[in-house]
């Protein structure tokens, strides 16, 4: 846990009133943590943070070795609330051979850790086909919270031209739908994936790939995302939406280190 700069955080008081972060002794790296909320009955441990927010900002960290050499390293992310306070830290758990041979289509385990260093969400992506020509073997992501307890799935739906996904609960019952734009490569603007009700008549939230500037978009695969959802949405489904964001990142915005892709010729 020390590698990520975790330290003990102030606990919330009973009744939901939280102690603000200690200001006179900031962390060495300047990170401000979201105060730890009190325990909530029937809430998976570590997901109490999600009961207090309706937006998550995900910032992928720069990897200098990857930028200089094109050698694919494991992805690392900070997850923050709307105030810029860190809620979670996420790191990809894959071996070097898988990352550099399978590229963005690689299977992975991604571990999401709270500010005390506890793994609270685990994402598993098996190796699946990434082509719409094979609708029987499309992408799927399993979300566990805590690790070992499945709370939901993100399942890709076949469509000739649109990115479409279904968010399911632990029993694989459809809960929400996600639809993205036909073209997922745009200059100088955000790319939005709309989260809808199952019948696709009501907007529920949004997953946005945020434009980070010409230089960063061209020369790195470091991405920023924003996720919005209703405050009263089940925390398990909020966790699954976070998983959907990571799956979308790998499928559409994660590019291996070859020069053509870094130059903007995205396949």
* Contact between 194 and 206 (Cβ < 8 Å): yes
- Is 0.85 surpassed by the pTM of this model? no
Average pLDDT, the chain: 80
Q: Which residues contact 80 (CB under 8 A, 6 or more apart)?
A: 34, 56, 57, 58, 59, 86, 87
Closest CA to 241 of 175, 158, 148: 175
Q: Please compute the mean of the pLDDT values over residues 60-71 and round it to a whole number.
A: 65
- Tell me how far apart the alpha carbons of residues 89 and 100 are, in angstroms, rounded to a whole number: 23
Place of tokens 């799956």: 247
DSSP state at residue 167: E
Does residue 61 contact residue 86 with C-beta atoms inside 8 Å? Answer: no
> Residue for token digits 């719409």?
132
Burial class (CB in 10 A: 0-12, 13-18, 19+), 85: middle
The per-residue b/e assignment along 55-69, b for 16 or more CB within 10 angstroms, e otherwise, is ebbbbbeebeebbee
Rounded to an integer, the average pLDDT of 175-203 is: 88
Which string of DSSP letters, residue by residue, matches 7-72?
Answer: ---PBPPTTS--PPPPSSS--TT---BPPBPPP-TTSPTT-GGGGG-SEEEEEEPP-HHHHHH---
Cis peptide before 259 (omega within 30 of 0): no
Please give the domain boundaries of the chain with CATH numbers for all domains: 48-211+222-253 (2.40.160.200)
Burial class (CB within 10 angstroms; exposed 0-12, middle 13-18, buried 19+) of 242: buried
Residue 183 binned pLDDT confidence (cut-offs 50, 70, 90): confident
Which of 219, 233, 215 shows the shortest CA–CA distance to 56?
233
Q: Is 251 helix (H, G, I), strand (E, B) or coil?
A: helix
Residue with the larger pLDDT of the pair 178 and 74: 178
pLDDT recorded at residue 67: 57
In which band, very low, low, confident or very high, does the pLDDT at 130 lie, cut at 50, 70 and 90? low
Asked whether the predicted pLDDT for residue 108 surpasses 80, the reply is: yes
pLDDT of residue 147: 96
- The count of other CB atoms within 10 Å of the CB of residue 169 is 17
Overall size of the chain counted in residues: 267
On the 0-12 / 13-18 / 19+ scale of CB atoms within 10 A, 117 is: middle
């Amino acid at each position: 846990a020390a590698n990520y700069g975790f330290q003990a955080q102030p606990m919330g008081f009973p009744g939901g009133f939280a102690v603000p972060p200690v200001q006179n002794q900031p962390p060495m790296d300047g990170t401000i943590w979201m105060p730890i909320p009190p325990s909530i009955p029937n809430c998976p441990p570590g997901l109490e943070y999600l009961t207090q927010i309706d937006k998550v900002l995900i910032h992928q960290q720069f990897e200098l070795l990857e930028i200089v050499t094109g050698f694919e390293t494991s992805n690392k992310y900070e997850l923050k609330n709307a105030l810029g306070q860190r809620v979670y830290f996420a790191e990809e758990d894959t071996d070097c051979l898988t990352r550099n041979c399978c590229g963005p289509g690689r299977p992975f385990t991604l571990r999401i850790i709270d500010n005390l260093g506890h793994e609270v969400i685990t994402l598993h992506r098996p190796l699946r086909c990434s082509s719409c020509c094979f609708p029987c073997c499309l992408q799927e992501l399993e979300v566990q919270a805590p690790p070992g307890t499945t709370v939901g799935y993100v399942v890709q739906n076949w469509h000739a031209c649109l990115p479409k996904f279904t968010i399911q609960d632990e029993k694989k019952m459809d809960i929400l739908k996600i639809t993205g734009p036909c073209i997922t490569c745009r200059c100088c603007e955000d790319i939005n994936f709309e989260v809808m009700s199952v019948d696709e008549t009501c907007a529920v939230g949004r997953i946005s790939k945020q434009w980070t500037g010409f230089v960063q978009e061209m020369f790195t695969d470091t991405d920023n995302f924003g996720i919005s959802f209703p405050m009263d949405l089940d925390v398990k489904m909020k966790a699954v939406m976070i998983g959907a964001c990571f799956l979308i990142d790998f499928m559409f915005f994660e590019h291996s280190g070859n020069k053509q892709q870094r130059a903007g010729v995205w396949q």
